[in-house]
Amino acid sequence: MQISENPDAETGLKRALGPFHLITLGIGAIIGAGIFVLTGHAAAEFAGPGVVISFAIAGLGCLFAGLCYSEYASMIPVAGSAYTYTYATLGRFLAWIIGWNLVLEYLATSATVAVGWSGYFNNFLASFGLAVPHAVVSAPIGVNAAGHIMMTGALFNLPAMLLVGFVTIFLVIGVKTSANFNNVMVAIKLAIVLAVIFVGFGHIVPANHTPFIPPNQGTFGQFGWTGVFRATGVIFFAYIGFDAVSVAAQEAKNPQRDVPIGILGSLVLCTALYMLMSYVLTGIAPYTSLNVAHPVSAALEALPATAWLAPYVNIGAIVGLSSVVLVLLLGQTRIFYAMSRDGLISPAFGEIHPKFATPWKGTIMTGIGCAIMAGLLPLDILGELVSIGTLAAFVIVCAGVMVLRVRAPKASRPFRTPLVWVTAPLGIAMCLFMMVFLPLDTWLRLAGWTVIGLAIYYLYSVKHAKPPRYVIAAE
């Protein structure tokens, strides 16, 4: 395996993150929109209480992919995640496709979470009688009942844009500062999530879980088992936080050991929390009532015995969603950084700040792009832009691990995917399964985004591409 002898000297990124930082980095990205926003939507629209099974299926698919990621991350402990792994094993073209799709996933997800945060923040202010004018807390672009784009009359979503700006400043200052800030936010939101689970468990109404999987309504994906499967694709983007752990590999102190710990530790813990939270929410309130912007506090308010916890949940959501935006933007900037180092995009995205040792120009440009999306687009549009590209990336990572076992069987593997010829195919199958159940519109948007990416690739990237920095040679 041919890797630069001293990646730190080549790039200037600081190795400042230990296993605790990496686990909390993963939790920071995973525990957020899935629990505070998506659980209610997926239950009310697709799966009912069976959303618990949806989280289990999505988590299992991520576990298979996470085991493959861990082997890659231990072999190639540098920034870029699936993009860099694919470049080293399957070549530049597939790496560009993966990197370009990850750009869409991270940016759109960051903006989606920022808009969700804005909703909780505005509700929190309203509870104190502080009403913010509608014109500056809503997107000017909306979708009507017929699915057509319309203008809402609002100007922009100012709170969402301010959150992105605040997080961008932290990311420019330094990754360890950002990680320590994230640790505090993770501790707060985990305390809130555990409080909801423990308090709510004692007030579950068994009738709310009957039937556990509501009968299909005659439409594919609307309840029944097809609804459970459809919900896995809808909630899947809540899990991409473990990918953010591998993105930060080049800033880990001991990446060969710590990155697999961060990936698998955060993934297992968060899957358990998602399942418990969805079980409690659909137990204390009818699933049909959960299709709101704040399903957790809405469910708690449905019972007098749990209503006292709702204000604290709003605080936890504000804090929790902030940390999700931070980790996702961190991941996006490191993917841009890796692509820039390879010459596929402008060198500005890879320029390191002399004092803070962060890719500061790329971070600022990423923050501006995310802020524009969060300020102008509603959840309806943003939500449809996520999931499918990440699933495609996971498929290629699982395939790449198998290719690498054949091409370089004797390469050093500090972490080895267990039963790789079973685990990797199962990861591919489950990710493809979730992709199949996504709506046609999602596939069309992916196709459109890919066409734009191919145009950039052939007009710019091919002309400026450098030789691969990390090559795993055949043996």
Q: What is the pLDDT of residue 355?
A: 79
Question: Can you tell me the distance from the alpha carbon of 358 to that of 334, in angstroms, rounded to the nearest whole number?
Answer: 9
Query: What pLDDT shows up at residue 237?
Result: 67
pLDDT at 78: 61
Give yes or no for a contact between 175 and 358, defined as CB atoms under 8 angstroms apart. Answer: yes
DSSP 430-460: HHHHHHHTS-HHHHHHHHHHHHHHHHHIIII
Residues constituting the chain: 475
How many whole angstroms separate alpha carbon 66 and alpha carbon 13? 24
Q: Where are the domains of the chain?
A: 14-464
Q: State the Cα–Cα distance between residues 36 and 19, nearest whole angstrom.
A: 26
Q: Quick one: pLDDT at residue 175? A: 58
> Which helix H or strand E contains 358, and what residues bound it?
none
Token pair belonging to 313: 């949940």
Residues 6+ apart with CB under 8 A from 437: 221, 226, 229, 230, 232, 233
The CATH class given to the 14-464 domain equals mainly alpha
Positions of the chain with pLDDT under 50? 1-11, 474-475
Q: How far apart are CA 154 and CA 142, in angstroms?
A: 10
CA–CA separation, 284 and 209 (whole Å): 9
Task: Show the tokens assigned to 221.
Answer: 């994906």
Containing 271, the helix (H) or strand (E) segment is helix 255-284
Q: Are 232 and 57 in contact (CB under 8 A)?
A: yes
**How many angstroms from the chain centroid is the CA of residue 259?**
17
Query: By three-state DSSP, how is residue 220 classified?
Result: coil
pLDDT score, position 81:
66
What are the residues whose beta carbons fall under 8 Å from the beta carbon of 306, sequence distance 6 or more? 199, 200, 203, 284, 299, 300
What is the structure's pLDDT at 91? 82
Owner of token pair 């204000």: 311
The per-residue pLDDT for 49 is 92
Which pTM does this prediction carry? Answer: 0.76
Bin 450: left if φ > 0, else alpha if -120 < ψ < 50, else beta.
alpha
Q: What is the pLDDT of residue 3?
A: 44
